[in-house]
Structures are given as C-alpha cells and as structure tokens.
Chains A and B, each alone.
Chain A
Amino acid sequence: MHIEVTVNGRLRSADVEARTLLAYLLRDEFNLTGTHVGCDTTSCGACTVIWDGLPVKSCTVLAGQVDGGAITTVEGLEQDAQLHPLQQGFWDNHGLQCGFCTPGMLMTTYALLQRRPHPTETEIRQAISGNLCRCTGYQNIVAAVQQAAARLSAQDAMEEVQA
C-alpha cells in the first residue's frame, strides 16, 4: 500500500505491505533508525514517537494508520544544530547509559512537557512508566526532564519579554 506521511516536518512516501508496522516504516523505509524496537509487545517504549501530537509506541501501530498524518521522531528534536533542551538535559544529567531507551524516553517526555510544562517528579515518573530503562534507574532521567522543563520555561519567558 502507498503511504504519505509528514515525518519531522517533511512529506515522505513509501509503498509497503499492509502488515508493516510504523516502527519499521521509519527504520527500514525512511532510514530513521533512532526509533528502536526492544520488545515487540508495546511494553518497553523504545519505539515511542509522536503521532499527531500524541506519543505512541510505533511497534504496535500499522504504517497504514498514519497515512496522511504527522510523525515526529528523535531525529526531529534538534533544530538549527541546537539540541532540544531535553536532549541537553539527558546529556548534562547522565540520563542515559547504553542509549537504547533514550529516543523513546525523549519522545515521551517531549509530549509530557507539551502537555505539562512544569511537571512534578511524580508526574514525570508516571509519564515515563511506559518506557523501560535497564541502565539508569530513572533518577537521572527525572533530573534531565526537570532541567529541560526549567530551561524551556526560561526560554518562553525570554520570548515573552522580547515580544
């Protein structure tokens, strides 16, 4: 089947089998291998991407479902050679070790901060409860998200002042 989808702001198309999963559409057809597959059962969240504003686990979404939609992957976070504050937060706070869960964590927390710009620690922990990490014990991920939230708020405030 033919699919047209906006990925990281760019319209892309592919011809795939009907059974193709979104994760493999991104990885195999568009060569966006930052989206990882860790469990195939919607348990681990390494494959999380943003679909029309909401975080989804792309290993359990059919490619055909996103036809006409918009997807953001980890590759879409960096803008103008500037890391997204979440990416910087993970780096500054040692919020990753092997890096395999990181793209999914980034996308889930990206969606969280869109919805809740000032999340509490409990809200952060609940938001990432569908994303498993075997390396970090989550503590530094929480710190990373808190740092990113603070920086994004500061940026917003600065923009308001400038406006």
Chain B
Amino acid sequence: MALEITESRPLGKPIKRKEDARFVRGQGRYLDDIKLPDMLYLALVRSPYAHARITRIDTSRAQALPGVRLVLTGEDLAKMNLAWMPTLAGDQQMVLATGKVLFQYQEVAAVVADSRALAEDGAQLVEVEYDPLPAVVDPFWALSPQAPVLREDREEASNRIFHWEVGDLDGTERALRDAATVVTERIRMPRVHPAPLEPCGCIADYNAARGHLTWYVTSQAPHAHRTVLAMVAGLPEHKIHVISPDIGGGFGNKVPVFPGYVAAIVASISLNRPVKWIEARTENLTSTNFARDYHMEVALGADRDGRVTALRVSTVADHGAFDAAADPTKFPAGLFSIVTGSYDFPVAYAAVDGVYTNKAPGGVAYRCSFRVTEASFLIERAMNTLALRLNMDPAELRQRNFIAPERFPYQSPLGWTYDSGHYAATLQKALDIVDYPALRREQAERRARGELMGIGLSTFTEIVGAGPSSTFDILGIKMFDSCEIRVHPTGKVIARLGTRHQGQGHETTFAQVIAEELGLTTDDVLIEEGDTDTAPYGLGTYASRSTPLAGGAAALAARRVRDKAKKIAAHLLEVDEAEVEWDGQNFVAMGAPDRSVTMPAVALAAYTNLPHGMEPGLEATYYYDPPNLTFPNGAYVAVVDIDKGTGAVTVRRFVAVDDCGTVINPMVVDGQIHGGLTEGFAIAFMQEIPFDEDGNCLAPNFMDYLVPTAVETPHWETGRTVTPSPHHPIGAKGVGESPNVGSPAAFANAVIDALSPLGVTNIDIPLFPWKVWEVLREHGVAE
C-alpha cells in the first residue's frame, strides 16, 4: 500500500500520486476536453494511394456545404510558403500534398466547419483525382538503382536519406577473421506504433487583435514546439503560448509536429477563430509516426573461451516518405551505437542506411532513447545465437563477457562513456529470483518428454538523458532541462520544469525530490509543467530524459534555495552561517541541537524578517546541462511454454531486475516497469504495421494492430539493484524505457531457447502463434 503525500523525508518512498486525485474522478483535462467559445473543427482529406500524382482537386462541393468555413489544399499553403514544414530530423515533410502523394493516408486537404461531424462531411465532398504510381514498399528495393526515386524535392536522385557509420571497420573485419567463432544473423525489428490511448490533437486559437496565438497541443516538448513554430510560421515567439494539457500517454508519439497541427494553426489565423483538430485512431496508426522498421545484419566474433572479440552491424532503416524521426541533430540513427551493450567488445563497427519508401513518415523513439531498443534487441539476440553456437549456457556467456564493475567509467568501442553498473550482480539477482538452475533442470525433464519450454535472458544497457548539450541538440537547440522553484511565505512551493509528463508521475516524483532537499513533504510542493508562458525553457519528456535532466535541475535548484535559506536561518538562530547545519529537515545551530528552525519558518522570514541587505524572496532556477548521459541497465528472464498444437506461446514467468540508480518512488518505478514490459510483450508477440505490395497499410485500427489485454498480459515480477549514477545530483538514471528496450529480446530468446533443439536460431518478431506453428510444422513437431 502506498504512503500518503504528507510523509516526511519522501525520497525513495512509495508515495501515492498527487495527480491521481483528478484522474480517478474523471477530472483530468485532456486536449479534447477543452472547448473554447466559437471553436471550429478541422478534418483532413487523406490519400487512398501510397504513391500517386494528384491531377485535380475540386473543393467546390465541400465549400458549398452549409457550416463549412474553410477548405485548405497544398496549393493554398504554398502561397504562404507552408506547403512543406521542417521535420525535427532536418528533413522536410509535406503539410498538405502538392504534386505527388507519397504514402497511403497522406494529408491532402483540410476542411474546417462548425462541428466535428460537419468537418467530416465536408472532407467527404472534396474531390481528388489521382494518377497512381508504382509503390516502393521494400526498403532494400528502394536502395536499388532500378527503384523509382520518390522524393522530387531533393537534389539527390536517390532514395537513400543518409549513410551513417561509427567504429573501426578495418579492425573489426580483422578481428572477425581471427575469431575462433563468428555467428551471423539477420535480425528485423518491424514497424510498430506507440499508439498512446489518447490520439494526437491540438486547438489553435489565434487572436488577430493581439497578434497572439494560444496553442493547446498534445506535446511532449512544448517549448521546442513553440520555437519551431516561431521559426516556421514567422510568428514572434513571445506571442505564441503553448499549453500542453494532461496527456493520455505519449511514448514518443507526441514529440513531432504533424500536418494537422499546422493546418489548424493556418485555419485559425485565416478565420480568427479557435480551430480544433483531433485525429481518429486510424489516422494515428497510419500517419502520425511509426517506430522501429530496422533491418539489421550482425556478425559477432568470439574466441575459444567464448569471450567476444568483435561486433559488426549493418542496418537498413525504413523511414517512410519523410524522415520524421526526432533524433538529436548529429545522430541520424539515434543512439544506435549503444549496440555493444553490456559486453566488453575490444572493437566494433556499426552502419545504418536510412531510406525513403512509400510508407508513413517517422522513425520516432517509441519508449526508447533514440534507436536504443533496436540496438539492445540486436545485441541480446546475437548473444543468444552465440550461446547456441558455443553450446554454452546464455547466463554463463553473459557473465563471462560483462563489463566488470571496476572498469567504470567504461569507454565503449563506439564512443560512449558508461557511468556505472554492476551487471554480474544484477543478472545474479534475476537468476536467484527465478531459481535458474531449477528451471534448467525442469526444462531438461520437459524436453525429454517432448515438451517445448524456453528460458530467455536479456541483460541490456540503455543510454538515456540526452544532453549533454555539447553533443546533443535538436535543430540547434541544446538538450538541457530546467527547474524553477518558488518558496512562498508559508513554506509552500510551486516548482515548474521544462519537461511534460504523460503518465510518468512527475507531479509526485519531482515534488519528492524537491521536498527531500527542502525538508518539506510532497504535499507542500506543487509541480507545474507544459505551459510555455510560465515554465522555464526545456526540451521535454522523451528518451527517459526527465529524471536525468529535469530531476537533476530540480535537486540543484532546491539546493540553491537551501543555500539562501541557510543564511536566513543563521540570522534567525543568531549564529554565523558556518555554525548552521542542515539535518535533512531543519537548520540546526551547531552544538545546540535544541535550537533549530524549519524551512517554513525560514520561508516566512525571507519575506518578513531578512538579514540586513539581503535580497527578499526565496526562489531559484537551475538550467541543468549534465556532464554525461546515464546508463540504466537490467537483467530480464522470461520463461515460456509453447503449445505444439497451435504455436501459441505462454509466458509463464517474467522477472525484471532493473538498475536505474537511485529510486525516487519505488511504486512509480514498478509501475513504469510493468507498463514497459507489457509494451515489450506486445512488440515481441503481436504488434506490427505491415503493408501490401501496393503500400496499403494493413493494420490501421485496434482490430488489426493488437494491444495486449489483461487476459494475455503476463504477471510481472520486479526486482532491483541500485548502482547510483556518479554524476547525477541524486544518482538517478531514468527508468521509463528500460522495460520496453530490454524485454523484447528476453521474450524472443525464450522462444528460440524452446525451439533450439530443432536447430532454430531465429524467427522474426512478432512471434504470432501461426508463425511459430509454421516452424513447428517445418520441423515435423506440430501437433
């Protein structure tokens, strides 16, 4: 049972969430709950073709419909120089199509009307004629010289977006030639979608008299969105007020800017009325940013003792029609170079080729710090393949190759400095919880009876918390984050941060951090995020960066407050500042423990009884630019049984031992782990957005794109080791993404482990029952 928010010394305790007071009452204020006077609604006309030339658009029937106030096409936007918009990845994307459409469901026209239904009616009346073109669906075909070049706006006559590489290719090739064993595998991480339960949307409210835009938007990064909008739309930044209200899940889906947003803003400016656009679920799954779609090839070398000697990875990354990833500018393949994982590789090389295809744009970091999930899946699957080849227990192989605790800070061959970790201890804890030796004995017995039981491991290392700003920026904006703290006369605190939570619990966890530093309770601290007029500038919440960055800023801003408070305390205690000690809750006169003052008493004095000459008030702001990223890690064990009659996989047990450094709220951390594991479970077993050869999206709703229900979702067992980050102000590393990054490989490794006696080394995820059953049939063991 959780503790009350009035608990003292709250850091590390399972404090009940403050935000839940409104959520359990249905009183959250999500985007679609906001209604403004005179508000209009916008609906989009979308392309039925994946690749086609637009030959005619006739909007006259739509415009004639009573209640329709405006119809916009790409040609209209072109006159305003807004037919295209920049993506966060430095590419450009069509807002409303001109010339060609490049993916099915692409935005072609916008209709604004008095009601949601009328806007949809109007959209139905827009007539668009297309001349269909052959669709490029296969990313490998897209790279062949015979493939049609999709993007006519670019100078390069190629579907290649970028070639990116890192590491020592020659050294890696040499080491692979010299290796006693080399395993190779093609590992695919299919196109999936974050699919938060609340779709994306916005209300643009332009006031011509004030020259001011208020923009309510489902945004994980409201400050960055405001700056981008100022640069793209030419509106003065101080006259754009971005408000990101309660968000019904984000998972990376709500980082980019979408065509519907721009269309709503243009419509509001044109009509001088508020305009709301909310996407339907089908629009969400088909157009607003997929994730993954990485096609990887790995070669992993090892010596006779099973010590890894080299890793080579080459990848084709399908970005769809536009590169709409939200990666930091210098990292077109994100932080994929964490691909050496938890293992001490002497040399490595990784390359990624990004390509255009006739699919929805994206490449977002879905609950992942920019392609870390792909990297983790690859290395954890490859280690499994190596264990099979060497006929070595996968736990033993990992223990033999882990980066040893004394090697931290550890310099990886692909350029990262890992901050801390104790991988062997973390794995051992997971193995102890499941009783690994007993499981292996049981497996041997079951195998003897012809049963298919598998045990899968994943011992991943993540890289999260971008900055530092010397390396990381988005469109030039440095990736720091911020916190401003105001302590009011009665000792109550309002703190504002540059991040924006979407369910992570910041209103509670950041209040715990600040309350701990100031000797208050969580109840005393009100956290506000998501309002660009009030909160200090920050880059937002994604890539597990809130705790590493804004959490650091919160602690350091609170310490600034405490520094000033100490001077006031000395005044109240009538001693020198050097004779005042902070005992965690009170300022105490040294050597006189009966003489102390509380933070609320100091706060009151800051406004009523200051030392002579001191500036009044008790506030501080901190912009935190971390010296390094943080490297959360974990050891996951999945135990599965496979039904030989159906190919269905049952996850019998799943143990997740995470090391995210200092834990702010164990209840919230466990909740994050449960949720992330469930998303990883879905990715491993049931989720994919496939396309047919004409580029038609085959999973455009929740009947074809499966979200696990409570029935098939396994019971999760969690555990922890705590290796604090040495450079973070409270030693915390961030945790929200670890389970989604680490778990898909554990599930897949468990299934392969079950099937390994048949000689199976890989099946592409998602591991649908039919897919597993086909493999069983091929090997003559299906029943």
List the interface of chain A (C-beta within 8 A of B).
Answer: 17, 19, 24, 27-28, 32-41, 43-44, 46, 73-75, 77-78, 83, 87-88, 90-94, 96-103, 106, 124-126, 128-142
Contact = CB atoms under 8 A, between A and B. Distances in A.
A127 B249 CA distance: 23
A46 B197 contact: yes
Closest 8 pairs between A and B when the two form their complex, measured CB to CB: A34-B26, A100-B248, A98-B503, A99-B23, A137-B674, A74-B26, A43-B702, A97-B503
Nearest to A76: B26
B711 A126 contact: yes
Contacts of A138: 674, 678, 709-710, 713
B7 to A, nearest CB: 14
B678 A98 contact: no
B25 A129 contact: no
A107 to B, nearest CB: 10
B323 interface: no
Nearest to B709: A129
Nearest to B718: A139
A150 B679 CA distance: 30
B24 A87 contact: yes
B690 interface: no
B715 A139 contact: yes
Contact of B197 (A75, A78, A94, A134): A134
A44 B199 CA distance: 12
B504 A97 contact: yes
B36 to A, nearest CB: 13
A101 B198 CA distance: 9
B716 A137 contact: yes
Contacts of B504: 97
A134 B675 contact: yes
Nearest to B676: A137
A111 to B, nearest CB: 15
B197 A97 contact: no
Given A92-B16, A138-B678, A129 B710 contact: yes
A91 B281 contact: no
A38 B28 contact: no
6 contacts: A98-B247, A99-B23, A99-B24, A137-B675, A139-B715, A142-B710
Contact of A102 (B24, B196, B675, B702): B24
Given A41-B281, A101-B197, A141-B710, A36 B248 contact: yes
Q: Is the interface of A mostly helix, strand, loop or mixed?
A: loop
Nearest to A38: B197
B678 A91 contact: no
Most buried by B among A40, A46, A100: A100
A37 B702 CA distance: 13
A136 B702 contact: no
A135 B675 contact: yes
B707 interface: yes
B280 interface: yes
A141 B116 CA distance: 33
Contact of B701 (A39, A73, A96, A99): A39
B196 A134 contact: yes
B365 interface: no
A58 B780 CA distance: 48
Given A98-B249, A132-B707, A136-B674, A106 B24 contact: yes
B24 A91 contact: yes
Contacts of A126: 710-711
A41 B27 contact: no
A112 B217 CA distance: 35
A94 B668 contact: yes
Contact of A98 (B2, B198, B199, B677): B198
Nearest to B701: A41
A106 B28 CA distance: 14
Interface string B1-37: 1100000000000001101111111111110110100
B117 interface: yes
B702 A36 contact: no
A102 B17 CA distance: 14
Contacts of A131: 709-710
B502 interface: yes
B80 interface: no
B710 A124 contact: yes
B280 A75 contact: no
B613 to A, nearest CB: 48
